[in-house]
């Protein structure tokens, strides 16, 4: 079991290049996830097994055997981001729920005040925990628009020290606990 003060990692973590894009889910499928909506049921096809999922009021975030994390819109079923950084299957993840709705998460740089920064951690069969900053642009004129806004991610740090795959993670305002 590992315990790390996450705010310290977020401030001092090493930034590495991370791929993000808004690619749609692949056509071939072994597994289908269905997102209920007032207007439709949208099947999402995944090319590999999905090992974990977390959600908030607007998004479902999944971790997969293909080493990726995907962010999906609950409202439309659209893939909002594909995040890559692990060298093994993503077995667990946790993220700050509805980060884009909280004004305390607003960026302060000129030209970026509509942007919000959130937080996510993910564990993998590669024996690591990745610490991520998540970004999205909040539309103050239409709070409902946050449901289908693209998401970007920046890898803030990689925590090493597990002797085997990381099977579960818990976070709170001060700590990351993984085992």
- Tens digit of pLDDT for each residue in 70-128? 999 998 999 999 999 999 999 999 999 998 888 888 887 777 778 889 999 999 999 99
Could you read off the pLDDT of 7-41 as tens digits, one per residue?
A: 666 565 433 323 333 322 222 223 344 444 444 44
CA distance 94 to 123: 9
88: Cβ–Cβ under 8 A, 6 or more apart, which residues?
Answer: 67, 124, 125, 126, 127, 165
């Amino acid at each position: 079991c590992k315990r790390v003060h996450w705010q310290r990692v977020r401030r001092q973590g090493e930034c590495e290049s991370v791929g993000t894009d808004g690619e749609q889910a692949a056509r071939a499928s072994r597994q289908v996830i269905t997102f209920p909506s007032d207007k439709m049921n949208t099947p999402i096809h995944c090319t590999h097994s999905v090992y974990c999922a977390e959600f908030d009021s607007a998004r479902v975030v999944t971790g997969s055997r293909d080493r990726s994390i995907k962010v999906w819109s609950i409202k439309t079923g659209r893939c909002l981001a594909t995040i890559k950084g692990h060298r093994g299957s993503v077995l667990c993840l946790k993220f700050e729920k509805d980060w884009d709705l909280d004004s305390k998460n607003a960026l302060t740089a000129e030209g970026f005040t509509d942007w919000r920064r959130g937080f996510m951690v993910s564990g993998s069969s590669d024996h690591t925990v990745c610490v991520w900053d998540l970004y999205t642009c909040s539309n103050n004129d239409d709070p409902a628009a946050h449901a289908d806004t693209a998401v970007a991610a920046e890898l803030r740090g990689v925590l090493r020290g597990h002797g085997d795959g990381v099977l579960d993670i818990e976070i709170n305002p001060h700590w990351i606990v993984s085992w």
